Amino acid sequence: MRDIVVPEQPEHPLGAAHEKRLLNDLKRSASNTKGRWGVRIQLSKLKPENRVEHSLRACEHTFNTLVARDGVRFYWLRNMDFVLLFNTMTADMVRSALVKVRFLFAGDPVVADSPDALQGVSDQFITWYRLDSDYDRLFTMAQRLVADHRRPGSSAGVRRHRHGGPIAQQRRGRPMTAAMLAKVETALVSADLSSHVGRQSVCALVGKAIPDPLFTEVFVSINDLRETMLPHVDLAANPWLFQYLTQTLDRRVLAMLTRRDDRTLTQGFSINLNVQSILSEDFLKFDDSLAPGSHGTVVLELRSEDIFADLNAYFFARDFVRQRGYRVCIDGLTWRSLPFVEGRRLGVDLVKVVWQDDLPQILASAEGAMAARALRLGTSGRMILARCDTEAAIRWGQDNGFTLFQGRHIDKVLRPLAL
Amino acid sequence: MAIERDPSQTERQLLDTIERAGRTPAGRTAVHLHLSDLLPGNRPPAHLRIAARLFVPLETAHHVQIFALSNGDIMVLGKDMPEDEVDRIVHRVRALFDRDPLAFTDFGEHEADPFVSWYALEVDYDDLHATVGHLLADAERRRDVQRRAEKPPPPMRPADLDTLQAKLAELDVRPMLRRQPCIRFQAKEANIAFEEVFISMADVRQALGVEYDLFADRWLFQDLSRMLDARTLAGLPETAAMSKPSTLSLNLNLESLDSSEFALVLGRLGPGQNLVVEVQVIDVFSNLPAFQKARDILREDGHSILIDGLHPAVLGALDLGLLDPDWIKIVWHPELAAPQHPRKSEEFADLVNDFGGQRVVLSRCDNETAVMWGLSKNITAFQGRFLDAVLGTVTMTKCPRAAGCTLKDCSARRSALGGRLRAECPNPSGLDAVTSFASPRRRPA
């Protein structure tokens, strides 16, 4: 019985997201290749009748424990192949899991009896990469896979959405229900969030000077996460359940930062939080884990609807974190919300205004008059123009008193400097 | 099974520690922060936990002991404590609670600071010992009461919400609909400005056998409220009292205004009957264009929009005039009436005037103090149990068949829109008969 139309070239639903993760993870480990391995299992070469869904699931299941407990990374590719990244410590466990995989598909001609295939010698089913020597080969492969996403007809050209960003553009799929939320919550308990974590600098940019990074926003890429956990679900269709989910993510991000998995993040970063999360035990643990004196370099980003939902809690949380030395930023103001949210009245250090391509036209129109006025009255050193994807955004911002910027265009300017 | 911790254990440890310290009292100090005297709304456990955390640096640097007591008080104990530092932290805790009269009360030269007490063990040991003795006795009493009392329900989880939504679809909510008047005080007379219709969550809980706390998470409850909107709107036209008030108010999510159920309610309004739609500020800020559109459409049809559930501080934090709702509803907080409130009363009156006193409702007025305070700040519309009682009393006075009724009965029956409660009234038409009464005389300022 079949109730799903199978496209001519089936694509793994997680493939696009995983390919990007793979590329990102490889970038991050570029300087840390010693004793590390990659392996690609070419399920795409199996006969279609051997590549049924339950076998694919069984295949992934084989690696669950290795992924959850031993730090092995698992990535589906769009063509149904999968890639594993691991190190010498876990190599034997990966080998024994691969035995199971070969056994799963033993009837297929591509899984030939090659005695050395598990010892690091590639055959037509398994390709091995020793990152010490083969890093470039694997990296180029991942790059090519991701570059393919931009080709017309590819379904993977999705833009990222941050926690707190306007999620209205994301209208697709079924609306999230409480039942799905319950499942996601359970999945999040054991999920490895680290590869869904993105970062983006906020820079001071005056005139033609080189952007000067002020702090780096650390965020969970909601869209990435959605593609992994709920590929056919529209999170934005239910803003309340989405907000609930962000609280769960807050806890996970705080725990991650408290463990300080990422040693580059000791100071000068910002995180998105809900007011209630600031009042939680997780935040207090995070607070304890920061080195004395570094609190002042950490910026907490809050959303206006969350602030106004319980002002009393907000004032308490704000006074507490400011006493501890943190800085507070209101995140995600659009031209619509900007007139209502005055940083000064709310006692915050920074406000983040979202750029959109038609912003100059809107501000010149009658509808945008209140926002234009609010921008003129704003304090320039306290306003960040965010989501600047183009140079035009930066130019407009500079002409309108902004000195702080964030967005893909800034990332582009910064990247060559970092190398 | 986890062994439940005795909540009075900290007090017992504190008493032990003090008795031991009393043997070598030289240089020992105790600092007692009376956080249990904060107004209940200002001392949620999360806030108290944070207050106690502020002392943690002293713990490591100066071997100070911190006791977070079961009533919310904090006791800090140490030898040769750096008093300046302790004082600085006490000051910071005070600043965190500076919206509470306990923190800002101006006490006289010879009076004790109600917020904090300092004890030098060399001279004050007996006082301290007695205080801690009382704290322990209170804690044990509270523990015993708690053990007999029902356990607080666990919070609602997403999976609970899922099951609940399925059950809710089948529920007849008509007997669960209630109304509460919003009363406008004018020079001589007080009138019902509108009657707010809502669904009794206690009834819903009982009908569906819900054993968890529906309100524990704001966002999950908000999602539940979408479902409740539809049920309320569907049940409302079939209730006996729907047609009575000349203006009805309904708590709704903005998205519910686009529903067929809402259209049905609009269609069933009598001639001259109007609606006030009450929306939450979270909903407004989550979807500003939807709010603006709803406001304009409602207004065009002679209805109005109200932003509900605002903390008094919102007037200072947000220029509500820009959002331009017809009404705002501010929740009464007892600390507002405290003398010497640092958010100066005159300032608040100015903010009310700026927005327009006629457009402000003070809600949850449980007593006369709230109403008197509101009137002195140019607020003229009020809602709450105190007003329900006043209206109930007048209703009974005017009712020829009230002899066998109590005020509680009458108020409860009046609040029902239909169903058993309303049917119990010997004179149902009397429940809607009173729409005005004489205004209280205002005290000279």
Q: What is the pLDDT of residues B317-349, one digit of tens each?
A: 888 888 999 999 999 988 887 765 555 566 788
| Residue A186, pLDDT score | 85
Nearest to A319 by CA among B74, B103, B243, B374: B103
Reported as a pLDDT band with limits 50, 70 and 90, residue A263 is low
**DSSP codes joined into one string, B396-433:** HHH-TTGGG--HHHHHHHHHBSSHHHHHT-SSGGGGGT
Give me chain B's average pLDDT, please.
Answer: 89
Q: What phi, psi does B158 have (nearest 5°)? A: -55, -40
Q: Is the pLDDT of residue A360 over 80?
A: yes
Q: Is the pLDDT of residue A305 over 90?
A: no
pLDDT at A157 exceeding the cut of 60: no
- When pLDDT is averaged across residues B90-101 and rounded to a whole number, the result is 89
The predicted structure's pLDDT at residue A2: 35
- Between positions 308 and 327 of B, the ones with CB within 8 A of A are 310-311, 313-314, 316-319, 322-323
Structure confidence at residue B253 (pLDDT): 95
* pLDDT score for A400: 92
Domain limits, chain B: 9-148, 158-438
The 10s digit of each residue's pLDDT in B46-85 is: 999 999 988 988 888 888 999 999 999 999 999 998 888 8
Average pLDDT over residues A378-403: 90
Indicate the pLDDT class of residue B152, thresholds 50, 70 and 90: confident
Which of A9-13, A69-73, B252-256, B276-280 has the least mean pLDDT?
A: A9-13
Contacts of B165 in chain A (CB under 8 A): 178
Res B1 pLDDT > 60 = no
Alpha-carbon distance values, B106 to B93, B112, B115, B346 (Å): 17, 10, 11, 18
Nearest C-alpha neighbor of A14 from the set A80, A71, A63, A58 = A80
Q: Are A105 and A227 in contact (CB under 8 A)?
A: no
Cα distances (angstroms) measured from residue A337 to each of A173, A332, B311:
27, 9, 19
Name which CATH class applies to B9-148. alpha beta
Most B-contacting residue of A189, A302, A316 (CB-CB within 10 A), to test interface: A316
Tens-place pLDDT, residues B420-436 = 888 889 988 888 888 88
What is the pLDDT at residue B169?
A: 87
* DSSP helix/strand/coil, B195: strand
CA distance B13 to B10: 5
Candidates B18, B2, B160, B6; CA nearest to B75 is: B18
pLDDT for A161 beyond 60: no
CB B304 within 8 A of CB B359: no
Q: Inter-chain contact A244–B46, Cβ cutoff 8 Å?
A: no
Residues in chain A whose Cβ is within 8 Å of chain B: 177-179, 181-182, 185, 238-241, 243-244, 247, 276, 279-281, 284, 287-288, 304-306, 308-312, 315-316, 319-320, 323, 336-337, 339-342, 345-346, 370
Over residues A213-237, the pLDDT tens digits come to: 889 999 888 877 877 787 778 777 7
Residues A267/A270/A276/A280 CA torsion (nearest 10 deg)? -20
Which pTM does this prediction carry? 0.76
Cβ of B159 under 8 Å from any chain A Cβ? yes
Are B411 and B396 spatial neighbours (Cβ–Cβ below 8 Å)?
Answer: no
Report the pLDDT averaged over residues B159-182: 91
Which residue of chain B is at minimal alpha-carbon distance from A165?
B286
Angle at B216 between CA B213 and CA B222, to 5 degrees: 105
Please say if the pLDDT value at position A380 is more than 80: no
pLDDT of residue B162: 92
- Residues of A whose CB is below 8 A from B217: 244, 247
CB atoms within 10 A of CB A28: 13
**Selection from A67, A70, A12, A90 nearest residue A191 by Cα:** A67
CB A176 within 8 A of CB A233: yes
* Residue-range domains of chain A with CATH: 15-150 (3.30.70), 168-418 (3.20.20.450)
Task: Give B259's Cβ-side CA count (13 Å radius).
Answer: 18
Average pLDDT over every residue of A91-99: 83
pLDDT at A8 over 60: no
Specify the pLDDT at position A265: 67
pLDDT higher at B177 or A291: B177
Q: What is the pLDDT of residue A120?
A: 76
Burial class of residue A88 in the structure, from the number of CB atoms within 10 Å of its CB (0-12 exposed, 13-18 middle, 19+ buried): exposed
The distance of Cα A286 from the centroid of its chain, to the nearest Å, equals 20
ipTM of the complex: 0.87
The residues facing A84 across adjacent strands are A39, A74
CA distances from A384 to A207, A212, A248, A270, A331 (A): 16, 13, 27, 13, 9
**Per-residue pLDDT at B340:** 59
Mean pLDDT for chain A overall: 82
Listed range (A149-158, A298-307, A331-340, B140-149) with the worst mean pLDDT? A149-158
Q: CATH says B158-438 is which class?
A: alpha beta
Cβ density class B297-306: b for 16+ within 10 Å, e for less:
ebeeeebbbb
Question: What average pLDDT does the segment B408-424 reach?
Answer: 87
What is the distance between the alpha carbons of residues B326 and B156, in angstroms, rounded to a whole number?
A: 34
Interval A376-399 mean pLDDT: 90
Confidence of residue B445 (pLDDT cuts 50, 70, 90): very low
Mean pLDDT of B175-200: 92
Model confidence at B29: pLDDT above 90: yes
Q: How far is A409 from chain B (nearest CA, A)?
A: 28
CB contact under 8 A, A316 and B49: no
User: Cα(B182)–Cα(B278) distance, rounded to whole angstroms?
Assistant: 13
> What is the percent of chain A with per-residue pLDDT over 70, rounded to a whole number?
88
